[in-house]
Amino acid sequence: MEDDDLVAGRISSEISSFGAKRVALQFPDGLLPSVWDVQSALKRRIGDDVELFVLADTSYGDCCVDEVAAEHVSCDLVVHFGHACLSPTRTLPVMYVPEKSIEKVDYSLLEGLVSKIRDSEPQAVVVVVPELRYFGQVRDFTAAVVASPSVELNKIVKHHESLGFGKFGRYVIPETASAPKEGRLAFIWVGSADSRTLRSVAVSLSAHLVHVFDPEAPDADHSVAVGRVITQRFAVVEKARHAHRYGIVAGTLSVSGQSQAIARCQKVIEKAERRSYTICVGKPTLEKLRNFPEIEVFIVIACPENSLLSPKGFDRAVITPMELIVALTDDDHLDPLQYSADFNLAFSENLKLEDEAEESREGTTSTDVSNRGDWSVQDVRGQGSAAAELQRRSYVGMEYRTPEDAPTKARKGKSGIAAQYSDESDRLDW
């Protein structure tokens, strides 16, 4: 990060002008060593009038604002440190503080890449898309059009809708970058070749040229294997086309439009006469999803950077809402080669719910369950498929016995090491 005092001064000024009284400081794992210095520097400036809360180990991706955790302590502002997907939040205002890049961008090498692209594609309009930590260095780059983040960094952003060119994340391309009919856009990604943002950018813009300029290895030849990724996405779409049970995984609870996206996925699956179940497991992993062996395909509702999960990490198909639409509808204007990983942009006008009021009606979705007296699970609509599958399992969860398992007061446990606890003086010495 930048100098802690400089960052603290910038943040304290924004907090004072905004009038926030309870502020959440969200740090990714890689920046946790800076927590104490940043918090101490902030406290020296804002005093005791503002309460600070540190958020770490987020329930979902580090790139998303953890509104749920912030609301647990009634915060009225979130300061998000490090890399961010810039997805629109539901209610809380947020201030994005990107990590400062260690490496300097070599303008001469970047200009050389721009010239090379123009020599091979004279009609192409070159657009530089910087990783957030490099935006401050390339914003004044004049040899090509520079796409800027859809929100202003280091400033408080109220609940917003992204203004970005949504096909490749939260960036805005100036109107001057309108490609001629004979040509196309050529994108230069300035940042890490292993970035999750790059994966979303490359796949969403497979119809355009995408080049990589990594300031940490500017001389290396980085290629984007878009064809391989697209082939993998076609494979999971085919699996989804023939499935009968779908699990809708809530991969975020903070991005605006998440609940509407879940409802629309349910509607698409219902129209195809299939079954859907909504699951909330935090960050999707192989181990977590294996707890639902009856589910054939999982649809992840998450930010664009956490939606495109590699098929190699799972033994079931894991797809995006756009891929669900391609698999289960005959919407012929949807091109699977040019889709968005943003679930807010995945649904076309003719796929909107016929009656949006249905989303808020209580007890009407096919995933609602109720507890009966014998602790078994019953489907509210009486279809019973989930309960039947659960009863067929050899293990259905921990058995709760009353009154044997009634809550008791906490007791002091053992201390010491497993070889010999402090109260085991007569234990054999091996």
- What average pLDDT does this structure show over 37-63? 87
Nearest to 177 by CA among 226, 128, 223, 227: 128
Judged against a pLDDT cut of 60, whether residue 167 lies above it is answered with no
What single DSSP character describes residue 216?
T
Nearest to 105 by CA among 82, 143, 138: 138
- The more confident residue out of 230 and 295 is 295
Three-state DSSP class for residue 10: helix
For 94-129, the pLDDT digits (tens) are 999 988 776 688 888 888 888 988 888 887 888 888
Tokens linked to 148: 């800027």
For 345-398, the pLDDT digits (tens) are 666 544 444 444 444 444 444 334 334 344 444 444 444 555 566 666 666 666
Three-state DSSP class for residue 6: helix
Q: Is 0.85 topped by the overall pTM?
A: no
Residue 337 confidence class, pLDDT cut points 50, 70, 90: low
Residue 136 confidence class, pLDDT cut points 50, 70, 90: confident
Judged against a pLDDT cut of 70, whether residue 39 lies above it is answered with yes
Evaluate the omega torsion of the peptide bond into residue 284 and state whether it is cis, within 30 degrees of 0. no
Non-local CB neighbours of 12 within 8 Å, separated by 6+ positions: 42, 45, 46
Number of H helices and E strands in the chain, helices first, is 12, 19
d(CA 39, CA 57): 17
Q: Are 132 and 64 in contact (CB under 8 A)?
A: no
Nearest to 347 by CA among 250, 251, 265: 265
Residue 176 confidence class, pLDDT cut points 50, 70, 90: low
Tokens linked to 169: 């994340």
- How many other CB atoms are found less than 10 A from the CB of residue 219? 7
The predicted structure's pLDDT at residue 201:
76
The predicted structure's pLDDT at residue 159:
63
- What average pLDDT does this structure show over 297-322? 87
d(CA 229, CA 308): 10
* H or E segment to which residue 53 belongs: strand 51-55
Non-local CB neighbours of 210 within 8 Å, separated by 6+ positions: 186, 187, 189, 201, 202, 224, 226
The predicted structure's pLDDT at residue 330:
66
- What average pLDDT does this structure show over 128-132? 88
| DSSP 3-state percent helix, strand, coil across the chain (nearest 5) | 30, 15, 50
What single DSSP character describes residue 271?
H
- What average pLDDT does this structure show over 315-342? 74
Q: Are 331 and 325 in contact (CB under 8 A)?
A: yes
d(CA 7, CA 98): 10
- How many other CB atoms are found less than 10 A from the CB of residue 160? 14
Nearest to 308 by CA among 61, 19, 138, 111: 61
What is the pairing mode between strands 171-172 and 148-149? antiparallel
DSSP assignment of 29-47 equals GGGGGGHHHHHHHHHHHHT
Distances 155 to 14, 73, 98, 128, 332 between C-alpha atoms, Å: 7, 22, 11, 23, 42
d(CA 79, CA 15): 10
- The more confident residue out of 417 and 381 is 417
Highest mean pLDDT among 67-76, 174-183, 352-361: 67-76
The predicted structure's pLDDT at residue 389:
65
- The more confident residue out of 121 and 184 is 121
* CATH numbers and ranges of domains, the chain: 4-97 (3.40.50.11840), 107-224 (3.40.50), 228-360 (3.40.50.11860)
Residue 4 confidence class, pLDDT cut points 50, 70, 90: low
**Length in residues, the chain:** 430
